[in-house]
Structure 1
Amino acid sequence: MNRFSKYVFGALLATPMLASAAVDLVTNGSFEADPQSSGSWNIYSSLTGWNGSPNIELRNNVAGTAYDGSNFVELDTYSNSSMSQLLTGASGLYELSFWYSARPGTGTTNDLSFSFDGIASGTVLNGIGNSGSDHSWQHFSQIVNFDGNGLLTFSAVGISDSYGGSLDMVSFTSAVPEPETYAMLLAGLGLLGFMARSRKESVA
């Protein structure tokens, strides 16, 4: 490796990648922080990071398997209708992401709604059943302009029949790199251009 190649390699190492790890503002998004024995379920007034209204049903690979890890949440209007978490962090563009599924072996009674401070809202599983023996996980994703503080809420809006919609792997991550990342990337590219020009002039 010649001296120029070594400089290029060093500059590339010093330049951060744009796909650096994003910060997730959701606490316990996959619901693994709360112990639940395998093949069991229970109803709680709250989970780590989440408040129930009135309760949250936590399941560990029973009546379906989790999308991520072992635990997932099921919400039904029967007794555990909604859950929420206050998110705080730096303002900017963020991606709201979660996975959802109708409960296995049920009809169209599993609707779930979500809202985030009026910035994002909607209903998933609207009139969707699941005749299979396991979850059929679907992904939701939306970019929102976050002002630094917001309440994320999931609610059951289906029929009160004790069978609800399932939720797993909730995240709220920064969607763009920090300005400092762009600045360092441009500096690294500028250094590469300068070295390439210097090498060309020395050869000439």
Structure 2
Amino acid sequence: MRNITVMLALAAATLINTTAAQAATTNLVKNGDFELTSNGTSKQINEGSYARADRTYLTDWTSKGYNFVLNGSTIDSTKGDTALSLWGPNSYGGRDKTSQNGLGASPTGGNVLAADWDYFPGPVTQLVSGLVAGQSYTLSFSYGAAQQIGYAGANLVNYWDVALGTQKQQTASLSNASHGFTGWQQANMTFTATSSSELLSFMAKGSPTGAPPFMLLDGVSLISAVPEPSTWGMLLGGLGLLGFMARRRKAAAV
């Protein structure tokens, strides 16, 4: 009987840990790595419902500014096959020594979002559903600052203004040199939901103006900080079933 009790306790602990972990790691942001697009990449994100051959269509996100989806492998290409490129090791075939700034793939790889806060600033947004009012969520993402090729001049202040519903936070400000790249940074923010669906917004900001600056973004995730109430109901149900099995085994042994 003691062995059975121990086994049931271990099974209960495993059920709790597994279910809680699954609930806590469910990303509520869709297409947070910007891989789902149509009509190619390295183009400005389409802003309206009308079709344009020179625009990228970014699944699950809405754009209202000079925002691009760049392919990580051609982010600094100058072969004329992209609408926008940034200063980086591959600029002008690597012959420009001032652009050996370390620009490369983001920590998650693949596409990245690039937003110019100077020329025509506007947010990139997504309506996030599945939230629980009063519950805390952790928003995580990778970000950095770079500069459009063909231009020069330092940008001393570069940051993301982030909002979930009416709550707003900012990333740490990055200083970028002429022809530079700040390196990839990691941000983690905590928000408390006020309703079941709220608008997630990223707005690039900075100063001084005049030297085309681009804020970069990738790997966006919004994860519950604690298991949801429905998860606890599943756990209690599982524990009740284990207790019932234990009682039946005890009764059968008498």
TM superposition score normalised by structure 1 = 0.74
- Selected match of 2:113 from 73, 90, 102: 73
Cα distance, 1:58–1:149 mapped onto 2, change above 3 Å: same
Give the whole-Å Cα distance in 2 for the aligned partners of 1:6 and 1:125.
49
Amino acid at match of 1:19: A
Report if aligned partners of 1:95, 1:174 keep a CA contact under 8 Å in 2.
Answer: yes
Q: Which residue of structure 2 lines up, in the alignment, with residue 26 of structure 1?
A: 29
Q: Deviations over 1:157-188 (max 9, x none)?
A: 12343222111111222222133433443455
Q: Which residue of structure 2 lines up, in the alignment, with residue 60 of structure 1?
A: 71
- Selected match of 1:154 from 202, 214, 223: 202
Are 1:117 and 2:165 matched, yes or no?
Answer: yes
Cα distance, 1:189–1:115 mapped onto 2, change above 3 Å: same
Percent same amino acid among aligned pairs? 28
Cα distance, 1:10–1:54 mapped onto 2, change above 3 Å: closer
- Look up the SS of the partner of 1:18 in the other structure: helix
Q: Which residue of structure 1 lines up, in the alignment, with residue 125 of structure 2?
A: 84
Report if aligned partners of 1:91, 1:148 keep a CA contact under 8 Å in 2.
Answer: yes
Shift of 1:36: 8.1
Coordinate RMSD, CA, aligned = 3.9
Structure 1: gaps spanning 5 or more residues = none
Give the whole-Å Cα distance in 1 for the aligned partners of 2:113 and 2:67.
7
Q: Deviations over 1:112-141 (max 9, x none)?
A: 21112222x122242533686673222222
Report if aligned partners of 1:101, 1:125 keep a CA contact under 8 Å in 2.
Answer: no
Shift of 1:31: 0.4
- Selected match of 1:176 from 226, 230, 233: 226
- Look up the SS of the partner of 1:19 in the other structure: helix
- Look up the SS of the partner of 1:89 in the other structure: coil
Amino acid at match of 1:67: P
TM superposition score normalised by structure 2 = 0.61
Q: Which residue of structure 2 lines up, in the alignment, with residue 17 of structure 1?
A: 19
Structure 2: gaps spanning 5 or more residues = 48-57, 76-87, 89-102
Give the whole-Å Cα distance in 2 for the aligned partners of 1:182 and 1:10.
16
My pick for the range that moved more, 152-161 or 26-35, is 152-161
Give the whole-Å Cα distance in 2 for the aligned partners of 1:177 and 1:96.
16
Q: Which residue of structure 2 lines up, in the alignment, with residue 44 of structure 1?
A: 45
Bigger strand share: 1
Cα distance, 1:187–1:52 mapped onto 2, change above 3 Å: closer
Q: Deviations over 1:45-103 (max 9, x none)?
A: 25211111134211112153223131111111234523111222242422222221122
Cα distance, 1:187–1:43 mapped onto 2, change above 3 Å: closer
Report if aligned partners of 1:31, 1:71 keep a CA contact under 8 Å in 2.
Answer: yes
Q: How many residues align?
A: 199
Cα distance, 1:69–1:90 mapped onto 2, change above 3 Å: same
Give the whole-Å Cα distance in 2 for the aligned partners of 1:109 and 1:89.
35
